[in-house]
A = this chain, B = another copy of it.
Amino acid sequence: MTTGMTIEVWVEFASTYSHIAAQRIEKEAEKAGISIVWRPFLLGPIFQLQGLNDSPFNVNKLKGVYMWRDMERQCKSFNIPFRKPSVFPRNSLTAARIATAAEGESWQSAFIREAFLANFYLDQDIADPQVLTEALKRAECPDIEKAIGSAQDQATKNKLRETNDEAISRGIFGAPNFIVGDELFWGNDRLEQAIAFAADEK
């Protein structure tokens, strides 16, 4: 049962809490009869506008220490596979492009989940085409070569750039985000509230 209202799910493959949201959102949205639209995007350009050249969790070391402990606790409580990656943040450009080009494909959701698991559970470099190939395989993508190649299409590059421009124009400053109509919800902690809001608007 999926009707009218839609939640846009803005995720960044380098973002820790996006991992949790990406693993949780489909089941929670389905329970509420809400459909989702993935909006993969990049935080790098947004952090640069904030004057940052690194993740805020690396810039603010205490916040970083806390975040990793919180991730452990949160993933455990949601039963989500997690291992602290040996590199953070990882280059997420190619993964974001593949996910962008996969809009409308049956395997898009599965690929998104698998790419996050590669980064935050398997501790793999998600910029490596071999790692992405394996994630696509686990997602049962029927034409992996085409999916990998889509990351180099000019149309894909333009679309991701437009998505990022839209993120900026909509006031996004971090990840993950849930957008319902004009209402912005930031952080995995607001997933339930975003769904309840969408259900009320139906």
Q: Identify the A interface with B (CB < 8 A).
A: 50, 60, 62-63, 65-66, 69-70, 73, 77, 171-174, 184, 186-187, 189-190, 193
Contact = CB atoms under 8 A, between A and B. Distances in A.
Given A65-B171, A70-B186, A70-B190, 16 more contacts: A50-B60, A60-B173, A62-B171, A62-B172, A62-B173, A63-B173, A63-B174, A66-B171, A66-B173, A66-B184, A66-B186, A69-B184, A73-B193, A77-B193, A187-B189, A189-B189
Contacts of A73: 193
Contacts of A50: 60
A66 B70 CA distance: 22
A28 B152 CA distance: 53
A187 B73 CA distance: 14
A186 B69 CA distance: 11
Contacts of A77: 193
Contacts of A189: 187, 189
A54 B110 CA distance: 42
A73 B69 CA distance: 27
**Which among A69, A77, A172 has the greatest number of chain B C-beta atoms within 10 A?**
A69
Contacts of A62: 171-173
A69 B69 CA distance: 28
From A62, A77, A172, A174, residue with most partner B Cβ within 10 Å: A62
Pick the 10 closest A-B CB pairs, nearest first: A62-B173, A189-B189, A63-B173, A62-B171, A66-B186, A50-B60, A65-B171, A60-B173, A66-B184, A66-B171
A176 to B, nearest CB: 13
19 contacts: A50-B60, A60-B173, A62-B171, A62-B172, A62-B173, A63-B173, A63-B174, A65-B171, A66-B171, A66-B173, A66-B184, A66-B186, A69-B184, A70-B186, A70-B190, A73-B193, A77-B193, A187-B189, A189-B189
